[in-house]
């Protein structure tokens, strides 16, 4: 793994040594080194920014698809929604990985840079691995002399970091040069010519940790880290507002990251050497400045109302739901009569003349034949009579009806009373849509 990362370590290590040789101060070297690295990585930043612009343009279409399936959380529907989103990406010739790829390329480089910062003997002093190992072994063999300077965890694990070795050398360089035995190490002479590096920062050493020097200027490093990381998350959220989905889950995750990331950085910069915390401040500030500049040069567009409307027409719509069966209800004849009356009112409003004509004809027929008994029943009862007698019977009924015979009226009253006392029931499917 180390051999693979040497592709990153060697060139960036040489760059850091060159900058230190020019300025001679480690704090200033970290700042200039951070700016130089950001310039090298700017093509990846531009590519990532262009991907955000592309995402902002197709965002209304994705929202239209998700809106179509809103409220439906079953697995089948969610899979169908995701498939439609992927099909839309394909139709728009957009790949979600286009925004992640530049970040994935930058991450190994950024992580490797921390290794360069933590190993100044290798990348600034130019010591070989054998020489550094020999110095570490000498310090661990003399913990009674140097144990108070190095962390107890490093002593117990016998795993010193280069930055811890430099911390020991700062106050004991001449003494170690006089007593250390580097026989057999090719570049031992390089250590004998080594002079202490300048890790000064406002009369403090960047090799110290803020946790061990609370009442010093080094405590500003964790506090400044919190400020710049918190500001970066807010600016990033604002710049990417048009390219990310504005749903509840996304807002909640952004809110959590807005506070957890700064707090994590504060903790790490509090317990680590101040040099790493300072580099973190430089790194965050430069990356934030790049995002602001790119947003000014090529702003991320906000979707217009016209784009949202077109997206709704193209990818929106509604999802067909299964129709529920209409319930079967048993209603009385009185309720049935009320519905008939409502239907009649509608018919009157549509064709009043035709309805009045039909009503008049029906009323005449009722006056002639309806005397409280059924015409078919009367005919059946008189089926034994001759046709002439039945005709005479019907004519007599007609005359009695036209003359408003009291007997007929009495029969009608009895019929109405009978209907009222014993309701007829019908099974009817009520139309819930009306």
pLDDT digits (tens, 9 = 90+) for 281-323: 999 999 999 999 999 999 888 888 888 888 888 887 655 555 5
248-271 vs 220-239: helix crossing angle, rounded to 10: 160
Contact 199, 166 (CB under 8 A): yes
Per-residue confidence band for 159, with pLDDT thresholds at 50, 70 and 90: confident
Question: Residue 333 has what pLDDT?
Answer: 47
What three-state secondary structure class fits 413? helix
Q: How crowded is residue 96: how many other Cβ atoms within 10 Å of its Cβ?
A: 11
Contact 230, 258 (CB under 8 A): yes
Q: List the one residue out of 111, 76, 56 whose CA is nearest residue 276.
A: 111
Q: List the one residue out of 186, 90, 71 whose CA is nearest residue 133.
A: 186
Q: Strand 204-205 and strand 328-332: pairing?
A: unpaired
Rounded to whole angstroms, the Cα distance separating 50 from 46 reads 6
Q: What is the DSSP string of 332-377?
A: EHHHHHHHHHHHHHHHHHH-HHHHHHHHHHHHHHHHHH-SSS-HHH
Contact 138, 100 (CB under 8 A): no
Residues 6+ apart with CB under 8 A from 56: 242, 243, 300, 301, 302, 303
pLDDT per position as a tens digit, 211-257:
888 788 999 999 999 999 999 988 888 876 655 555 555 566 667 77
Question: Residue 174 has what pLDDT?
Answer: 92
Per-residue confidence band for 375, with pLDDT thresholds at 50, 70 and 90: very low
Both structure tokens of 187: 């570049």
Rounded to whole angstroms, the Cα distance separating 355 from 244 reads 62
Percentage of the chain surpassing pLDDT 90? 29
Q: List the one residue out of 238, 228, 230, 200 whose CA is nearest residue 216.
A: 200
pTM, two decimals, is: 0.66
Q: What is the mean pLDDT of the chain?
A: 77
Q: Is the pLDDT of residue 384 over 70?
A: no
Q: List the one residue out of 42, 44, 46, 12 whose CA is nearest residue 29.
A: 12
Q: How crowded is residue 314: how many other Cβ atoms within 10 Å of its Cβ?
A: 14
Per-residue confidence band for 400, with pLDDT thresholds at 50, 70 and 90: low
What are the Cα distances from residue 88, in Å, to 39, 65, 70? 35, 9, 18
Contact 210, 270 (CB under 8 A): yes
pLDDT per position as a tens digit, 166-207:
989 988 999 999 999 998 899 999 999 998 899 999 989 999
């Amino acid at each position: 793994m180390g051999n693979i990362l040497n592709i990153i370590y060697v060139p960036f290590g040489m760059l850091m040594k060159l900058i230190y040789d020019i300025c001679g101060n480690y704090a200033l070297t970290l700042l200039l080194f951070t700016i130089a690295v950001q310039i090298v990585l700017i093509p990846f930043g531009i590519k990532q920014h262009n991907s955000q612009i592309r995402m902002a343009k197709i965002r209304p279409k994705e929202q239209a698809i998700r809106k179509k399936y809103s409220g439906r959380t079953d697995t089948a529907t969610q899979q169908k929604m995701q498939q439609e989103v992927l099909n839309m990406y394909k139709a728009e010739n957009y790949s979600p990985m286009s925004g992640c790829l530049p970040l994935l390329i930058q991450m190994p480089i950024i992580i490797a840079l921390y290794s360069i910062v933590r190993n100044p003997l290798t990348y600034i002093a130019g010591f070989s691995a054998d020489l550094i190992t020999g110095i570490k072994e000498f310090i661990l063999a003399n913990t009674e002399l140097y144990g108070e300077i190095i962390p107890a965890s490093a002593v117990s694990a016998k795993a010193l970091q280069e930055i811890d070795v430099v911390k020991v050398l700062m106050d004991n360089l001449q003494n170690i040069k006089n007593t250390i035995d580097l026989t057999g190490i090719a570049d031992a002479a390089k250590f004998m010519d080594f002079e202490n590096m300048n890790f000064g920062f406002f009369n403090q050493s960047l090799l110290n940790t803020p946790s061990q020097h609370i009442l010093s200027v080094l405590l500003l490093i964790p506090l400044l880290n919190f400020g710049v990381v918190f500001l970066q998350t807010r600016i990033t959220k604002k710049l990417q507002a048009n390219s990310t989905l504005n749903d509840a889950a996304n807002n909640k995750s952004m809110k959590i990251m807005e506070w957890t990331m700064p707090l994590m950085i504060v903790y790490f910069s509090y317990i680590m050497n101040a040099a790493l915390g300072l580099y973190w401040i430089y790194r965050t500030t430069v990356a934030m400045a790049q995002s602001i500049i790119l947003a000014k040069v090529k702003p991320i567009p906000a979707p217009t109302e016209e784009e949202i409307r077109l997206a709704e027409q193209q990818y929106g719509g509604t999802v067909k739901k299964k129709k529920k069966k209409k319930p079967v209800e048993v209603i009385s004849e009185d309720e049935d009569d009320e519905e008939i009356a409502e239907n009649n009112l509608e018919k009157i409003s549509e064709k009043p003349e035709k309805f009045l004509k039909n009503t008049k004809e029906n009323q005449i027929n009722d006056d002639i034949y309806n005397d409280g008994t059924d015409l078919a029943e009367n005919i059946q009862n008189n089926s034994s009579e001759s046709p002439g007698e039945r005709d005479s019977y019907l004519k007599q009924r007609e005359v009695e009806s036209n003359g408003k015979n009291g007997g007929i009226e009495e029969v009608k009253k009895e019929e109405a009373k009978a209907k009222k006392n014993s309701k007829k029931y019908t099974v009817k499917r009520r139309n819930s849509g009306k």
